[in-house]
Structures are given as structure tokens and as C-alpha cells.
A and B are shown apart, each in its own frame.
Chain A
Amino acid sequence: MVTIHTQYQSRFREITQVPGETFQLTEPLVAELATTLAKKYGPLMESLLIDKETRELNTRGTMYLDSKGRRIYMEDRLADGETIAFLVGIAGG
């Protein structure tokens, strides 16, 4: 069992209605965190988070970073106490 903190921005926060939360995961995997979020928040979150075709984390217009600023992937393991930020992938303007 690991404790994982999340931070949400933009569309993620609109869907979750909270700036962040804490989860207890039985498997320390990004895949489990993604599944947990999709289950908790329903099809909008699933569509935003998970690519329908590849079942990987969606890369289109979104970004997910660990506390060292590295992008995370489904197969990555999560350290106990890690914070994952769910961000938009947009630049410039």
C-alpha cells in the first residue's frame, strides 16, 4: 500500500472539483492511479486521462509530472508519498 498525492489544474480541476487529493493504492503503479481516477470521476476523466486506442496515458493536450518534473507513464512505479500533477500541455499564445 502506498500513499499518492495528486494536484489538478485546468480541465482536470473542473472535473474533480478539488485542487488535489490523496489516494491509497494497493499497487504502486501509475496504471492503478489512472484506473482509480477514471473510476472515481467517470467517462469525462477517463476520456481526458486515457487514450482510447492505446490505453496509455493520453498525451494529447495533457501532461502528467512527478515531483521531479518528469513525465509519467502507465508502466511507471510510484514511490510512497509521491505527488503527481495533472496539467494541460499548452504553450505560447
Chain B
Amino acid sequence: MESRLLRVNLTTGEMREEILPHSLFERWIGGSGINNWIMWEHFLSHDINCDPRGPDNIFVFGVGPLAGSGSGSGVKGRITFKSPCYGIFGDSAAGGKFPYMVRFAGFDHIAITGKAPRPVYLYICDGSAVLCDAAHLWGKNSAETHLALQAEHGDYPSQTHTLTIGVAGEHQVGIASVVSDASRIHARGGGGTVLGSKNLKAIAVQGSGGIKIHNPSGMLQWSEDFRKLIDANEAIYGFKRRGTLGAVEMYQHIGSHFWRNNQGSLFRGEEVRSDNWVKKYHKYSEVCSADCFIACDGRYKIDGTESEKSKKYVGETFRRPEYLTTGSAAGALDVRDWSEIAHWGKVTNDYGIDNQDLSCSISFIMEMKEKGEISERDVEELFGRPQRLEWGNMDDIEALLHNIATRDNLFGELFNDGPYWGALRYSELKGKNFMKYSIYGKGGASFTEEMRPFPTWMNNMAVASRGADHLKGIGLIEKFQRRDLSQRYFNGRTEAADMTIPDLKGASTALIENQVALINSYGVCLFHWMLDPAGFAPEEHYGPAYADVTGISRTPAELMKDGERICNLEKAFNSRLGLRREHDTICERWMYEPTTEGMYPGSVAADMFETVLDEYYEWRGWDKVTGLQKESKLIELGMEDVAEVLASDRALARG
């Protein structure tokens, strides 16, 4: 396995290529695992408590060995950094063509440090890299930047693919995102903020090389077998047309939506509760990458006949909104028209901003107004203008999006790091505690799904290394009530599939965090696992493909340990930053306010929260009192070097 890392120091302009040693893959697999290690090493020689918006922060892009290898398993690139909005470990994935084009250009990872004296972009082409002036791109949104770079570099030696930031990143808004090829977004944690703080507007790449495969015939056979499994899965046929919008009706059925700042669990409005998206808006399906057998991407083009409100957006075309875009608009903000929801997806991409933290910041202030907590004078003070703060009014919502993305008034400044920090700052400003209206989990990160009936999900929100999120320990065994998976992974026990009891919920989080870490390190798409064409066991399914590509053979048990090791490194990063058990928490509403509708009314997290958290630490082999890792666990995982660092930082538990 030969893998190249491009190191870029923006302060000095120095660029250096490194061959990553084979041993690194045996320990960290690739993709997110190696990204994490690059960041870990960086902060051994730089202050980990540095300002995430300062030059000492690092931004790592990486792609795993299976991405673009012909496995057909989809492609995910990953960015890793210290999060500016949550102040903890940060990472985020996105699919598309950019990740494997980086490989075709000769690199698997890019590590960016320092700060450029003026706006620049990084241009990589077939093994060479150069920093270019970006003055003409500054001020453009992510789509305009992408198109300008495509026009500049053309289609030779390959099409130009990009990572860009929008206006939000330029303004160093804490929840700014990085956009891949103008339409796929590394949304969470503030990666766009880090790039903005470094004056790096974009990375453009062209590559005409290939990827070296250790055993090409084995890989082709694996790939063909996988394609047959996917073709035989009838549920995937439906997913191709809907993507994650297929969850809208299912969530409506069980009551898992996040309505009006999570005051409710169901969408209102006939239009958004139904399958009208597919009937009225779906124009055609697309593949997000050439290395995907599912092809779940879709595109709309609004012609103005879809609804009265769609007339505002005639001619607009973009990717179909996925579930969380819909959850943030139709749910958090009660927008009831699909054309407006689709538009919301497009404008948040254009600004380059995370729609989860954004919508929860806006829904916070809307609920405050609704509950009479703020007066017209307060509104005037926040916005510098009269502002209706009316649920579902997309024109108003878009104005508030602009305020946060540009920090152009008090509201935008207070909430640029999301709803937790916004609510805290506003509470301090007004001398009154408004935190009960703020929806967040670990790190202050927010998330627009109803999770109170699901103890595994509530645990995910409290422990995820990058702050509250579903894509680290996604609670599928519980939500889909997969008794078969519970039995397989927990010695015949079925409790992990029963959401009414706390048993095996912490264990499920730990199990799936390890599996997801593995998938993210292979560089493939989570949906190829989640839709389960191959048995929901990434340690078994992808192991042979990983061996075919890299020449590194690992048993399923070893791969599960690899996943666990990767999770432990993320945990160690946060422990160095001072995070302990008390930081593994969730907001007041999720903890204490019962759900009132849906299939599981009366649910609150508090009933099981601490029991599940205890179990999570037990299954992790971590100390229950402090939440810290134990030396014995790190030694078991071959992480003695990490244990040493934690011990010197007084962030290691005895035992």
C-alpha cells in the first residue's frame, strides 16, 4: 500500500509530499483513521488548546483506500479539524467526485496548517500543487466559486473538481461548512470556518492517474458479487428515487420528526408529509460518484407549476433535499412547501453553512418570540429592524440565514456558533436563563430529529466525538428494531432492539461507533451498509475488499479492534481538551420534556439516560465516574503512546 500525504503550510507557502508508511494503515486503516492520526500528531507539537480559528489549527482532507477503487461502495471524503463552534474534535464527510479525483491526482490526504497572508486557493494537478491568488473568488458563494474554478482550469487532464467555502466561511461563522463540487456538503463542525480563518477559499483538483490495486482480479470479483447483492435488494430500488427522503413518511408514521424547535414530533401540512416530492419534483436520478452501485442522488428543476410558492423559484435546479435538509426546514422551521424546502437546501449550500445548527438557532429565536420571552424592542435590538419571526415564512427565514452567515447584526453575531452558544450569550446579555429553549447535545451541537423515544439515539447525541450527531453511533438496531442484529452481536440477547428498556443501548452505541469508524476509514458510503444488502457487518463484508486493494489482510475481529482504536483516538483528543463525563450530555428539552405525539408519546431521555451512559462506558472499557479512558484499554488496543500523552495531560483514568 503506497499512500501520499500533501502537507501545505499556508503561512510560509511551503508544500511537502510524504509517503505514508505501510504500518500506518495496519494501525489506522485509511480515510478518517489516518486523518485523525495526522491531527493527533500535529497537536503533539502545537497547543491543542489553540484558537480553532487561529493558524495553529490543522485542516486535514483524506480519503480511504476503497474510494474510487471500483468497489461500487460509494465514495466519501473526510475533513478533520478542531471544531471552531464546539471547541472539540471535528470531522465531516461528503461524497461526490472530488475525493477520488484527489487520489487520481496522486494524494490520499492533504494536511493544511498556518494562515495565508491573503486569500488563496490550492490547485493540485497530477502530483503537483500550487497556491494561487483567490482575490477574484473572495465574496463568491460556493457554487459560483466552483464554476469559476472549473472555467479557469477546464477539462484537461480531467474535469476540475473542487472543495470550496461560501460567504459563511469567509466571515468565519462558527458553523460554516465546506462544499464539494457545489452541491455536496461537509456540513458539521465548522470545517468551512477553519478554511476561512486560513484564507483558503478552495481546493481545486485535476487528476488523470489511477489507483494501484494489490489484487485486481480479486477486487473485480468482490465488486461483481456486491453488485449482485445490491441488485437483489428490492428496498434499494425505492431508495434510488427517494434517497433519505424515504424517511419522511416513516418518521411521520412513528413520530420521529423535529417540529418547531422540537416542540412536536410530527410534520404539519399535507404536502410535506406525503410522497409528493417524487411525484412532482424528481426530474432524474444521478450518481454522486462513478464508484457507486446504488446511485441515490436526484435532481429537481422547478417550473413553477408545482405549487403557488414554487413560482418564486422558477428555473432553480439543485440536488434533491435529503432528510436532514427537510428536517431542518419542514421540521424545525415548519416550512410546508417542497419548493421552499428544496430552495433551503440550495441556499445553505451556496452560503456554505450547516443547516442543523442554523435552523435550530432560528427556531430558538422563533420559539422565544412565540412564548413571549422577547419583546418587539428585543427584536429590534437583535436584528436592527422589525422582524416577524414567523414559523414557516421562508423569506424571513432566509433573511435570518443571511444574518448568521454574514454576522451582520447582533443576532448573527450571537448565533454564529449555533444554538447552544447563541442561547448562552443571549441569556448572559439579558440576565435571564433561556437555555430551556436551546436544543443541543454534546459540544452544543444540534440535530433536527425527534430522538426522545430512542435511548440509543439519545446516547449518541451525548457521546459522539464530534458533538451531537447521528452518524457516529447511529442507533439502527433500536430504531429499526433489528432483533436479528441484537442477537448476532450480543450473544443471542434481543434487548438492543427494544427501545422501551435501557439494556444494551450503550453497548449498541459503542458497537456501531466502531463499525462506522471502520466504514469511514475505508472511504465508502454509509448507505451501502445501512440499507443492508450484505448483512450489516462492515468488518466481514469489506474486509476482503480492503485486502484486495491494500494487500493488508485483517480478520473481522481485528477490524473491529481497528474501528475501536479509531474511536479511542477521537476520545483521547477530546480528553486532552478537558472533556469528562459531565460533557457527555444533552439539553433540557430532550432530557426532561416528554413527547406529546407520535407512536411513542410521553418519552423523555432522563428515564434511561444515566443507565445507558454507564453501560456505554462499561462497554468501552472507560471509567464511569470521570468518563476518561483507562490505561488498560489503551494498552489492549496498542495505543501505549496515546496513553502516555493522556497521562502527562492528567486525562487518563487508573486501571
Write the residues of chain A forming the contact surface with B, with a CB cutoff of 8 angstroms: 7, 9-11, 13-14, 44, 47-48, 52, 58-63, 65, 68-71, 73, 85, 87-93
**A58 contact set on B, CB distance < 8 A:** 235
Instruction: Check B650 for interface membership: any CB of A closer than 8 A.
Output: no
Report the nearest A residue to B454, measured CB to CB: A91
Q: Are B234 and A90 in contact (CB under 8 A)?
A: no
Instruction: Check B533 for interface membership: any CB of A closer than 8 A.
Output: yes
Instruction: Check B223 for interface membership: any CB of A closer than 8 A.
Output: no
Q: Are A61 and B599 in contact (CB under 8 A)?
A: no
Q: Are B249 and A61 in contact (CB under 8 A)?
A: no
Q: Are A87 and B244 in contact (CB under 8 A)?
A: no
A61 to B526, CA, bound (A): 13
**A87 contact set on B, CB distance < 8 A:** 249-250, 253
**B325 contact set on A, CB distance < 8 A:** 93
**B483 contact set on A, CB distance < 8 A:** 71, 73
Q: Contacts A68-B599, A88-B250: A60 and B233 contacting too (C-beta < 8 A)?
A: yes
Write the residues of chain B forming the contact surface with A, with a CB cutoff of 8 angstroms: 232-239, 242-247, 249-250, 253-254, 275, 322-325, 449, 470-471, 474, 476, 479-484, 497, 526, 530-533, 599-600
**A62 contact set on B, CB distance < 8 A:** 235
Q: Are A90 and B244 in contact (CB under 8 A)?
A: yes
A10 to B: closest C-beta gap in Å: 5
Report the nearest B residue to A70, measured CB to CB: B481
Q: Are A88 and B532 in contact (CB under 8 A)?
A: no
Q: Are A61 and B233 in contact (CB under 8 A)?
A: yes
**B480 contact set on A, CB distance < 8 A:** 59, 63, 71, 89, 91
Q: Are A85 and B253 in contact (CB under 8 A)?
A: yes
Q: Are A90 and B246 in contact (CB under 8 A)?
A: yes
Q: Are B243 and A65 in contact (CB under 8 A)?
A: no
Scoring B238, B243, B476, B482 by chain A CB atoms within 10 A of each residue's CB, the highest score goes to B238
Contact of A60 among B243, B526, B531 (CB under 8 A): B531
B250 to A: closest C-beta gap in Å: 4
Q: Are A14 and B238 in contact (CB under 8 A)?
A: yes
Can you list 28 residue pairs at the A/B interface with Cβ under 8 Å? Answer: A9-B249, A9-B250, A10-B250, A11-B238, A58-B235, A59-B482, A60-B531, A61-B236, A61-B532, A63-B480, A65-B599, A68-B599, A69-B599, A69-B600, A71-B480, A87-B253, A88-B238, A88-B239, A90-B244, A90-B246, A90-B247, A91-B244, A91-B530, A92-B470, A92-B471, A92-B526, A93-B244, A93-B325
A60 to B250, CA, bound (A): 15
Contact of B234 among A47, A70, A93 (CB under 8 A): A47
**B247 contact set on A, CB distance < 8 A:** 88, 90-93
Q: Are B236 and A90 in contact (CB under 8 A)?
A: no
Q: Are A9 and B253 in contact (CB under 8 A)?
A: yes
Q: Are B474 and A92 in contact (CB under 8 A)?
A: yes
**A14 contact set on B, CB distance < 8 A:** 238
Contact of B531 among A69, A73, A90 (CB under 8 A): A90
B501 to A: closest C-beta gap in Å: 13
A14 to B241, CA, bound (A): 11
B345 to A: closest C-beta gap in Å: 11
Report the nearest A residue to B534, measured CB to CB: A60
Report the nearest B residue to A14, measured CB to CB: B238
**A61 contact set on B, CB distance < 8 A:** 233, 235-236, 239, 531-533
A13 to B238, CA, bound (A): 10
Extra contacts, 15 of them, besides A47-B234, A60-B233, A89-B480 (Cβ < 8 A), are A10-B242, A11-B238, A47-B232, A60-B235, A61-B235, A69-B600, A71-B480, A88-B249, A90-B246, A92-B471, A92-B526, A93-B244, A93-B322, A93-B323, A93-B324
A57 to B123, CA, bound (A): 52
**A68 contact set on B, CB distance < 8 A:** 599
Q: Contacts A91-B470, A93-B244, A93-B324: A59 and B532 contacting too (C-beta < 8 A)?
A: yes
Q: Contacts A13-B275, A14-B238, A91-B474: A63 and B481 contacting too (C-beta < 8 A)?
A: yes
**A89 contact set on B, CB distance < 8 A:** 235, 250, 476, 480, 532
**A11 contact set on B, CB distance < 8 A:** 234-235, 237-239
Q: Are B242 and A65 in contact (CB under 8 A)?
A: no
A84 to B483, CA, bound (A): 18
B94 to A: closest C-beta gap in Å: 12
B562 to A: closest C-beta gap in Å: 23
A90 to B239, CA, bound (A): 9
Q: Contacts A59-B484, A60-B531, A61-B532: A10 and B474 contacting too (C-beta < 8 A)?
A: no
A68 to B600, CA, bound (A): 8
A4 to B: closest C-beta gap in Å: 17
Report the nearest A residue to B235, measured CB to CB: A61
Q: Contacts A11-B234, A60-B532, A71-B497: A92 and B481 contacting too (C-beta < 8 A)?
A: no
**B530 contact set on A, CB distance < 8 A:** 90-92
A27 to B: closest C-beta gap in Å: 23
Report the nearest B residue to A15, measured CB to CB: B234
Scoring A14, A44, A62, A92 by chain B CB atoms within 10 A of each residue's CB, the highest score goes to A92
A63 to B482, CA, bound (A): 9
Report the nearest B residue to A62, measured CB to CB: B235
Contact of B238 among A7, A10, A71, A73 (CB under 8 A): A10
A90 to B235, CA, bound (A): 10
Q: Contacts A59-B484, A59-B532, A71-B483: A92 and B244 contacting too (C-beta < 8 A)?
A: yes
